[in-house]
Chain A
Amino acid sequence: MAKNIQSLERAAAMLRLLAGGERRLGLSEIASSVGLAKGTAHGILRTLQAEGFVEQDATSGRYQLGAELLRLGNSYLDVHELRSRALVWTDDLARSSGESVHLGVVHQQGVLIVHHVFRPDDSRQVLEVGAMQPLHSTALGKVLSAYDPVAHTEAVEGDRKDFTPRTITGLAEFESVLELTRARGWAADIEETWEGVAAVAAPIHDRRRMPVGAIAITGAVERLCPAGELRSELVAAVRECARAVSRDIGAGRF
């Protein structure tokens, strides 16, 4: 059997010790129970505390299990929770941009639309909640593939169909688009999925900086890219909206 990592074994022993009922233990009790010098035990506890697995009571100095452990067991963010948190921000984005707004998450081999705000004009529009979009060609899909390893694998291994002459299908070119996306924090789709349609998207991160979804502004290419380039204020607006939702679900300022 391969040799195990000693400090992880010690950390696990401390967590088990603290997990025995509703307990708060002092440093010396923990150190003597697991048979360690106080300095060594303190180093491990400090690391566990930084990760949120252990919390220290401010007044007594005693240790207890941290909230992070509870979240581990139930860590995925419910998409309906995500929608309810995003509602006011996405409404405002649609209103300020004058275009429709979509919120998407990775689902199977594509992007599942979990929220859709209509373009604020009087035209008839159909709610697209529940629809799927491709990962490799849409702005939402590119953002998710750039940040989420699961989406990345699906996009790289899946079939990258050419929807229009502008669709990027080659692997190297696709990877360089993702690299650019990570570098600047947003992705675009200019007639790469639908003729005449452009979109710009930015990622939503949770408190662990995990990508949990993406928000996109979608509209006619001549409105979004009047001079061939995406209007920079739309890029700023969609990024600001995604940051606001990220903050709302507990991510720190970034």
Chain B
Amino acid sequence: MSDTTTTGTSSHGTGPFIAAIDQGTTSSRCIVFDRDGRIVAVDQKEHEQIFPRPGWVEHNAAEIWTNVQEVVARAIEKAGITSADVKAIGITNQRETTLLWDKNTGEPVHNAIVWQDTRTDALCRELGRNVGQDRFRRETGLPLASYFAGPKARWLLDNVEGLRERAERGEILFGTMDSWVIWNLTGGTDGGVHVTDVTNASRTMLMNLHTMAWDPKILDSMEVPAAILPEVRSSAEVYGNAKGGVLDGIPVASALGDQQAALFGQTCFAEGEAKSTYGTGTFMLMNTAHKPVNSYNGLLTTVGYRIGDEPAVYALEGSIAITGALVQWMRDQMGLINSAAEIETLASSVEDNGGAYFVPAFSGLFAPHWRADARGVIAGLTRYVTKAHIARAVLEATAWQTREISDAMTKDSGVELTALKVDGGMTSNNLLMQTLSDVLDAPVVRPMVAETTCLGAAYAAGLAVGFWPNTDVLRANWRRAAEWTPRMDADTRAREYKNWLKAVERTMGWLDDDDS
């Protein structure tokens, strides 16, 4: 590449640029990117987490919109540029978080119900009553679970006084956070566009994955009036222009749910390419090209992205509830380490796990097992085992859980994982990344830009306005910062996997029916 010869030390002085807004679970951020995909400026602001009751989580959508405006203004200021230098705005967002607002006043009718909120558990059980969790799986790719937006909207319609009548009169708009941000950016009550993208729509349980449209039968069963729903658009096209604010007149040109945005930012554009984001929990998505692959192994089928009029690209998704959270637990609850990074120091002081396996089924087992009756286990303990062996077992737990998801993806899609692209905070753990490569028996690759979520939204927006001509150019922008290759022999890998699965067995059935 010409990089090596044209190097300045801060070579991103001149535009044009793309601004990406990440409306996340704990904060809103704006990052300005240059044509090479390098970060020019960042601004971020946290918002309040509201817990009205155990299991309930809400956000104040008005606060979020204020914060979004603030971080955009400050990021543009930090970059030392004006709106004239910005070619497009891209949006990425916390998925499934649900809001209903008044079309005429722009006021939310209730706090947004956050994806983690479990208030719709009972409603989901009721909706599944004769058929079970998979009642809408063929159409939507999702099991009936409290995460998804449709049941949350239904809860609001049932529980906010007079809301259903107002909704039926066409006074109310529904949206996930992408819709809320885009509607406000493009003018709100003054002509704001009411849209969502296919990736966010695929997390509502209301969209049919095959037709990419709201499914009338499901709307009927879920009792959600079609009048409140946004128009489903692609992930990369101009939805409208910003009205007011520092970016007045700039096209709003992409929307992607955060995990899909990371898939896009990691340039997983080919079938079989996968990314895994290692934070508190872990989300792994694999590109399955133009086929919505049905999962028989506990994964979700979801839309990966859709660029303009091109056919949609689908993905299989597996999530792990506890990965980084286990390291935090070792630090905060066990006090065995002082900082998250020290887990590597402790784990590196021994050669292996000493026979110990740690299955962190703290709130049950998720994909691919889906066992709510499971609880955490440390198996294989002997007097030989030290805290260092446990630290090693902690890191291996993240690796083996990834292996289980990857195996499920291979079973469902028939595509072998060729390499895993990783991002997120835990990628700074060298021992973990090596262990991951060892147990997957595949290379693990870390990209140079850690902010893959915002980058994905910027890429999609840039494609929509012709800032970047095609995905090949984006792929060429992608830079490998590090790569780990497998060093474990096949016999060891097989033996360790068997032991891990034995430990997983031992977590199941801990809760009795009457415990919950």
The reply to whether A91 and B481 contact each other, CB–CB distance below 8 Å, is yes
Interface residues of A in 222-245 (CB under 8 A from B): 223, 233-234, 236-237, 240
A236 to B10: give the CA distance in the assembly, Å. Answer: 11
Contact B3 A121 (CB under 8 A): yes
Q: Are B430 and A83 in contact, with the CB atoms below 8 A?
A: yes
Against A, the Cβ 8 Å flags (1 = close, 0 = not) of B411-449 are 000000000000001001110000000000000000011
Q: Is the CB of B430 within 8 A of A98?
A: no
Known: A78-B341, A80-B344, A83-B430. A91 touches B9 (CB 8 A): no
B345 at the interface (CB under 8 A from A): yes
| B490 close to chain A: CB less than 8 A | no
Q: Which residue of A lies closest to B347 (CB)?
A: A80
Shortest Cβ gap from B19 to chain A (Å): 19
Q: Would A121 and B4 count as touching, CB distance under 8 A? A: yes
| A residues near B217, Cβ cutoff 8 Å | none
Assuming A95-B479, A96-B10, A96-B11, is B4 touching A223 (CB within 8 A)? yes
Q: Hey, which chain A residues are within 8 Å of B11, CB to CB?
A: 96
Contact call A120/B8, Cβ cutoff below 8 A = no
Q: Is B38 an interface residue (CB 8 A)?
A: yes
- Encode contact with B along A83-99: 1 for CB under 8 Å, 0 otherwise: 11001100110111111
Q: Does A127 contact B (CB under 8 A)?
A: yes
Q: Which of B342, B344, B479, B484 contacts A127 (CB 8 A)?
A: B484
Closest to B3 in A: A98
| Chief secondary structure at chain A's binding surface | helix
CB distance from B340 to the nearest CB of A (A): 8
Q: Which of A115, A118, A233 contacts B8 (CB 8 A)?
A: A233
B119 to chain A, nearest CB (A): 36
Q: How far is the CA of A191 from the CA of B480 in the complex (A)?
A: 26
Q: Which of A95, A118, A237 contacts B482 (CB 8 A)?
A: A118
Please name all residues of chain A whose beta carbon is closer than 8 Å to the beta carbon of B480 when the two chains form the complex: 118, 120, 122, 125
Interface size on B, residues (CB 8 A): 33
Complexed CA–CA distance, A116 and B339 (Å): 22
* B474-502 residues at the A interface, CB under 8 angstroms: 479-484
CB-CB contacts below 8 Å: B2-46 with A = 3-5, 7-11, 36, 38-39
Give B450's nearest chain A residue, CB to CB.
A88
B482 & A127 in contact (Cβ 8 Å cutoff): yes
Query: Pick the contact of B339 from A81, A94, A97, A115 — CB < 8 Å?
Result: A81
- The answer, yes or no, to whether A156 is at the interface (CB within 8 Å) is no
B338 within 8 A of A: yes
Q: Does A74 contact B (CB under 8 A)?
A: yes
Which positions 147-194 of chain A face chain B at CB distance < 8 Å?
none
> Judging by beta carbons under 8 Å apart, are B339 and A78 in contact?
yes
User: In the complex, which residue of chain A has the Cβ closest to the Cβ of B337?
Assistant: A78
**Residues from chain B with Cβ under 8 Å of A236 in the complex:** 9
Which of chain A's residues have a CB closer than 8 A to the CB of B1?
98, 120-122
Expressed in whole angstroms, the Cα–Cα distance for A84 and B3 within the complex equals 26
Report chain B residues within 8 Å CB of A117.
Answer: 448, 481-482
* 12 residue pairs from A and B, CB less than 8 Å apart: A80-B344, A83-B430, A84-B340, A87-B428, A91-B448, A96-B7, A99-B4, A116-B482, A122-B480, A223-B4, A233-B7, A233-B8
- Write the residues of chain B forming the contact surface with A, with a CB cutoff of 8 angstroms: 1, 3-5, 7-11, 36, 38-39, 338-345, 425, 428-430, 448-450, 479-484
